[in-house]
């Protein structure tokens, strides 16, 4: 009979049934950073000169961070 080590000594077992289920991608769909938008609206209400920086931040989000939907497309 083989000697079985405890999980504490051996680490977590690597079996497919013990792996966590893959979580859905949280960056897709309407999961827009709502707190950032609300903070930006509040900043513009308090100080209207902040409209341009807030719009630049939102534009940067859409251009550089927000997934475009064609991530798997190759240009070849």
75 within some domain: no
Query: What are the structure tokens assigned to 76, written together?
Result: 């070849």
| pLDDT for the residue 37 | 82
Q: Which residues contact 58 (CB under 8 A, 6 or more apart)?
A: 37, 40
What DSSP string describes 24-56?
PPTTSTT---HHHHHHHHHHHHH-GGGHHHHHH
Per-residue model confidence (pLDDT) at position 34: 79
Domain range for 60:
31-67
- pLDDT digit string (tens) for 22-69? 665 555 555 567 787 888 889 999 999 999 998 888 888 778 876 665
Q: Total domain count for the chain?
A: 1
Going from the C-alpha of 39 to that of each of 22, 62, 64, 65, the distances in angstroms are 31, 17, 20, 18
pLDDT at 62: 77
Specify the DSSP class assigned to residue 58. Answer: H
Q: Is residue 17 part of a domain?
A: no
0.85 exceeded by pTM: no
């Amino acid at each position: 009979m083989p000697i079985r080590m405890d999980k504490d000594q051996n680490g977590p077992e690597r079996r497919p049934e013990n792996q966590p289920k893959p979580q859905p991608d949280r960056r897709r769909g309407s999961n827009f950073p709502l707190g950032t938008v609300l903070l930006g609206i509040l900043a513009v209400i308090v100080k209207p000169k902040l409209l341009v920086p807030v719009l630049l931040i939102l534009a940067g989000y859409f251009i550089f961070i927000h997934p475009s939907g064609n991530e798997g497309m190759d240009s070849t």
